[in-house]
Each structure stands twice: as C-alpha cells, then as structure tokens.
Amino acid sequence: MTRAVLSIGSNVGDSYAHLRSVTSALGDRVVAVSSVYSSAPWGGVEQQDFLNAVVVADDEQRGPYDWLEVARELEKAADRVRVERWGPRSLDVDIITCDDISSSDPQLLLPHPRAHQRAFVLVPWLEVDPGASLEVSGEARSVGEWIESLSEEERAGVQRTEMTLHTPNTAP
C-alpha cells in the first residue's frame, strides 16, 4: 500500500467546492483529512487568502508518479491554469510525502522541498498525523518541531475555519 500526504489549496472561484472535489474524487482512499484552514498567500504575489487542507490517502495500486498523475487530473478538473508561480489558483494539489520515498526528479521532488517552510502545510498535517515527521537535507524532525522553527508571522497566517471536508466514510 502506498500512502501519500497531499496538501490542497484554493483561492479562485468556489474554493471550498474545489477542496471538496479532492476528497470526493479520492473516495475510500482517504485515510484522514484535516480541517479547512484559511492562510495568507505564500510567495509574495498579491492575492486573496487561500483555503487549505491536508489529505492522507492510501492506495495499493499507486506509486509516487501515479499520485502525481492523480494530482494533475484533480487540478485539471478544477480548471487549474498555471499563469504565475505562486499566483492565484482554483486548485493546487501538492504531494508532500509518499511513504518514505525520496526523489530528486524535477517532475516529482519528494519529500516536497518547501513543505517544512510552510505553516499552511504543516499545521493541518500535524492535526491529522501528530506523529508525522519530515526529513529535509538529511535532518529529520517531527512536523511539530518544523512548525516551531517557523516565524510567528508564518504560523499566525494560518487559521482554522469552521469548514470541514467529508469523505464517503464520514457523515456530512
């Protein structure tokens, strides 16, 4: 079985519906899904806040490149258009980790090379997997320790909302 940790985000159109489309499409493969968080945009591009969540999914038929294809299909279904790096988007699906696989392939860098710098990834991930750890440049730390290493401004930019994402295994 291959377990993937996916970070999902949206700030164009019906962002909540875009996030829900991910858990709906993954269906029974969803093991855990975080609350929905509102987060300040990352990367210096002026835009509205994002809605973000983390989804943990298992599928014995999928490897890392299969998860990448799933991510691209989900983004395409949400009419994702890549115009500007770190710009607004209808749906962003990033693979943060896939089991303990490391990849330096430019098409699929694993673990995600900037996940440890992004509270909008780490905070929801910690919610669904308090024991999770992440290795960066040979340094393994718990997700909680990576959060503590972030600036107060970065951490404060991520706020839990009242919104939740449901899977076929949970009631709305």
DSSP 8-class letter at 43:
S
d(Cα 67, Cα 42) in Å, to the nearest integer?
A: 24
> Which residue in the list 29, 62, 92, 118 is annotated as catalytic?
92
Map residue 150 onto helix, strand or coil.
coil
> Which residue in the list 58, 94, 129, 141 is annotated as catalytic?
94
> Which residue in the list 20, 29, 62, 80 is annotated as catalytic?
80
> Which residue in the list 20, 62, 89, 118 is annotated as catalytic?
89
Please state the φ and ψ torsions of residue 20, each to the nearest 5 degrees.
-60, -35
92 is known as an active-site residue? yes
What residues contact residue 165 under an 8 Å CB cut-off, 6+ apart?
A: 19, 20, 22, 23, 33, 34, 36, 53, 55
With CA atoms as reference, report the closest residue to 40 among 151, 163, 149: 151
d(Cα 58, Cα 36) in Å, to the nearest integer?
A: 20
14 is known as an active-site residue? no
129 is known as an active-site residue? no
20 is known as an active-site residue? no
- Residues designated catalytic: 80, 89, 92, 94
